[in-house]
Chains A and B, each alone.
Chain A
Amino acid sequence: MIRLQDIAKSFGSNHVLAGVTLEVAPGESLVVIGGSGSGKSVLIKCILGLIRPDAGRILIDGAAITPRGRDAFLARTGVLFQGGALFDSLPVWQNVAFRFLRGPGALPRDAARARAIDRLARVGLGADTADRLPAELSGGMQKRVGLARAIAADPQVIFFDEPTAGLDPIMSGVINSLIRSIQRESGATAVTITHDMSSVRRIADRVAMLHEGVIRWSGTVAEMDATSDPYVAQFIHGAPEGPIRTLR
């Protein structure tokens, strides 16, 4: 269980998060939606400990997160970054097997490579990609490699940061399907942030909308489609007119 209580974060006078309270149940797939610049990435980085919130508490399985607790949390966590964040200098298989090549849980190189090739196969990539560098791959393949790295250690919690950003609709569908099937098969808790409504419909058990620094609304996909909340309605229909101010 991940629980956020009144998380606040400002950058100068820009109050990005202004008291976010949210819960993610074990095994649940939560998708956080919101416009560009609404603080979705900041929220996920606060949970991961990459950004320190100004106020509020983050509880993992009921305990407030500490530096030691964060290390333990990250050890059972996988993250797919928006741009992939693959290590340029390492071939694909070493990116995927990064955890298994270093540290106390290191495997022999052959075993780590075999594990990486297995995870690449899980996301639809052949062994021939294993020795290529990330720069030699298309955007869609980089996302898949990022996904393979995120699931490499069989994480209990997976974070997806804009998983379909920059991809064509077909590749977006492929990534969404992979995310959903991996999450269902593994039973992992998934937190996805996106503004891609096709991702929301394919991935989400529950949806939460972040707007002006707080969770404005949350519910299931069916409830989202039926809601009368004007903010959610404007967002999911992409309407230019409505309560959400847009720059034109």
Chain B
Amino acid sequence: MSAGAPLAALGRAVLALLAATGRFTIWLGQVLSHVVRPPFHTREFGAALMQIGFLSLPVVGLTALFTGGALALQIYAGSSRFDAQFAVPQIVAIGVVRELGPVMVGLMIAARVTSSIAAEIATMRVTEQIDALVTLSTHPLKYLAAPRVLAGLVVVPLLVAVGDILGILGGWLVAVTRLDFGTREYLQNTVDFLDATDITSSLVKGAAFGLIAAATGCWAGMNAGRGAIGVGQATKSSVVMAAVMVLAANLLLTEMFFSR
């Protein structure tokens, strides 16, 4: 093997990644163009809202509740080292609303919704259902991808809002039952400390993560290989892709909202 072989391999990998990013970006642009162009598949949009939003509420709610409670315990333990236990409500609020709420919801959606969308659409692909759509004069992007992507964009911010509230409630529950905080004091400090930017950033992150989760599921499903292996591979790669993109987007949005 020549000395330049590893570099060549790295170069090929980078070029492949850039090419895939370009294809995904163009594809996403086409999907978004279908979102705003009639005809609109309102039933499919309603079903996607139900699948992505309502049916995700239990997992999102429980995750946020437990995470908020654990965060309160951790902050109390850490801040007591320098007698700053009073800051638990504020730090729980900022931690949940700015970071943990959106990221936990984004990752839960990536696990639950992205995988489900990818598996469903990949199965449709390998069983020729997507070909059947075309022959029935229905554009697959318009029928399959656009309603799901729009639903992700619209409903995940609401899930994040629910997650934020339940995360704060989890912290409050632990604080009043285990850490001797009063309910009024805790909630007042929480409300006073949060500002509009915190809430806006949380909802914008939710929208971005919803878009990413739904789009990667559709993309992976529509580009699935053949047979059961193709469906499995599409499902797995969609979740990995969505999780990485959610975390990368989180960094970018945090930088955008909170960098000095």
Contact = CB atoms under 8 A, between A and B. Distances in A.
B3 interface: no
Given A85-B127, A103-B39, A75 B137 contact: yes
Interface in A138-197: 149
A98 B127 contact: no
Given A71-B137, A74-B137, A75-B137, A102 B41 contact: yes
Interface in B92-149: 120, 123-124, 127-129, 131-132, 134-138, 143
B128 A77 contact: no
Interface string B32-44: 0000000101000
B128 A85 contact: yes
A75 B137 CA distance: 6
A88 B124 CA distance: 8
A82 interface: yes
Contacts of B132: 79, 81, 85-87
B131 A103 contact: no
Contacts of B131: 45, 48, 50, 81, 85
Interface string A76-97: 0111011101111100000000
Interface residues of B, number: 16
A79 B134 CA distance: 10
Contacts, number: 51
Contacts of B137: 71, 74-75, 99, 103
A19 interface: no
A149 B133 CA distance: 12
Majority-rule SS of A interface residues: loop
A138 B211 CA distance: 38
Contacts of A88: 123-124, 129
Interface string A55-78: 000000000000000010011011
B128 A82 contact: yes
B45 to A, nearest CB: 13
A104 interface: yes
A99 B134 CA distance: 11
Contact of B135 (A74, A86, A89, A102): A74
Interface size classification for chain A: 20 to 34
A152 to B, nearest CB: 9
B136 A104 contact: no
Contacts of B127: 83, 85
A219 interface: no
Interface string A32-58: 000000000000010011100000000
A74 B134 contact: yes
Contacts of A83: 127-128
Interface string B143-172: 100000000000000000000000000000
A78 B136 CA distance: 8
Given A102-B39, A102-B41, A103-B39, A81 B128 contact: yes
B39 A79 contact: no
A98 B135 contact: no
Nearest to B138: A102
A89 B123 CA distance: 12
A98 B138 contact: yes
A77 to B, nearest CB: 7
Contacts of B135: 48, 50, 74, 77-79
Contact of A98 (B120, B128, B136): B136
B136 A99 contact: yes
Residue with the greatest number of chain B CB neighbours at <10 A, chosen from A49, A50, A77: A50
Interface in A11-43: none
A85 B134 contact: no
B218 to A, nearest CB: 15
What 8 pairs across the A-B complex have the smallest Cβ distances? A85-B132, A85-B128, A79-B135, A81-B128, A85-B129, A50-B131, A98-B136, A74-B137
Interface of A: 45, 48-50, 71, 74-75, 77-79, 81-83, 85-89, 98-99, 102-104, 149
16 contacts: A48-B134, A50-B131, A50-B134, A50-B135, A71-B137, A74-B136, A75-B137, A77-B135, A78-B135, A83-B127, A85-B129, A85-B131, A87-B132, A102-B39, A102-B138, A103-B39
